[in-house]
């Protein structure tokens, strides 16, 4: 039995439609629909980006990871609303101390993750839950205050490709095998001369 409004998986629903979705629908979602590429053409590794900031407690979000995030602080809710009206992207960063209720810049780590908001659900208690997919690791360069929320100016960090890591590992393995073979050859030569 379907709950809430009908969904077109190829487009992300608007905020009003999402607020009508039931909690069961939200957590039963099998996919977000189609996400954009890892980053827009002008936001590649090394590019400076500006995104609304979402500090989180006791959570670390990684690129390509999909997770629900529960948000209750007013500034965080306004950051989500700002992201939903623009490109649905935020910078999520962990707090150093989860007990801090209103974290300042010094209370946040400087490495975070740029995320796309896939779904948003307003809960009956006034909090909001978003389903977010990590896109890129970012280094926060500066925090910019706005009237209602914080914006992070950040630099997209280069992630080594899996093929690069495999090639690097294979190269090290090959070099170690050559060194071991050379040692064994020298040992055999030494043994044959005695």
Mean pLDDT by 10 residues, the chain (194 residues): 40 45 54 46 72 92 91 91 90 92 89 92 85 93 90 88 61 71 67 59
Q: Are residues 189 and 145 in the same domain?
A: no
Q: Are residues 100 and 179 in the same domain?
A: no
30-37 long-range Cβ contacts below 8 angstroms, 24+ apart: 32/66, 32/116, 32/118, 32/119, 32/131, 32/133, 33/7, 33/8, 33/9, 33/118, 34/9, 34/10, 35/116, 35/118, 35/133, 36/116
Q: With a threshold of 0.75, does the pTM exceed it?
A: no
Q: What is the mean pLDDT of the chain?
A: 76
Handedness of CA 132, 134, 136, 142 (dihedral sign): positive
pLDDT at 3: 42
Q: Are residues 177 and 148 in the same domain?
A: no
In a domain, 8, yes or no: no
Q: Are residues 124 and 183 in the same domain?
A: no
pLDDT at 166: 60
Cβ count within 10 A of residue 174: 10
pLDDT at 193: 57
In a domain, 10, yes or no: no
In a domain, 115, yes or no: yes
Count of domains observed in the chain: 2
In a domain, 1, yes or no: no
pLDDT at 151: 92
* Residue 148 domain boundaries: 15-158
Q: Are residues 83 and 174 in the same domain?
A: no
């Amino acid at each position: 039995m379907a709950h809430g409004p009908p969904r077109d998986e190829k487009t992300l629903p608007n905020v009003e439609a999402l607020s009508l979705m039931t909690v069961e629908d939200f957590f039963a979602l099998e996919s977000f629909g189609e996400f954009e590429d890892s980053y827009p053409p002008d936001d590649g590794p090394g590019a400076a980006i500006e995104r609304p900031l979402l500090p989180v407690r006791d959570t670390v979000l990684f690129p390509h990871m999909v997770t629900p995030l529960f948000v209750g602080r007013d500034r965080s809710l306004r950051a989500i609303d700002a992201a939903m009206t623009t490109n649905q992207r935020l910078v999520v960063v962990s707090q150093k101390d989860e007990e801090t209720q209103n974290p300042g810049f010094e209370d946040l780590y400087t490495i975070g993750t740029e995320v796309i908001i896939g779904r948003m659900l307003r809960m009956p208690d006034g909090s909001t839950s978003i389903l977010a997919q990590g896109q890129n690791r970012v280094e926060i360069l500066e925090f910019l205050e706005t009237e209602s929320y914080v914006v992070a100016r950040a630099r997209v960090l280069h992630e080594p490709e899996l093929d690069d890591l495999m090639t690097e590992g294979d190269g090290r393995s090959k070099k170690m095998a050559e060194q071991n073979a050379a040692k064994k050859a020298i040992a055999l030569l030494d043994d044959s001369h005695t």
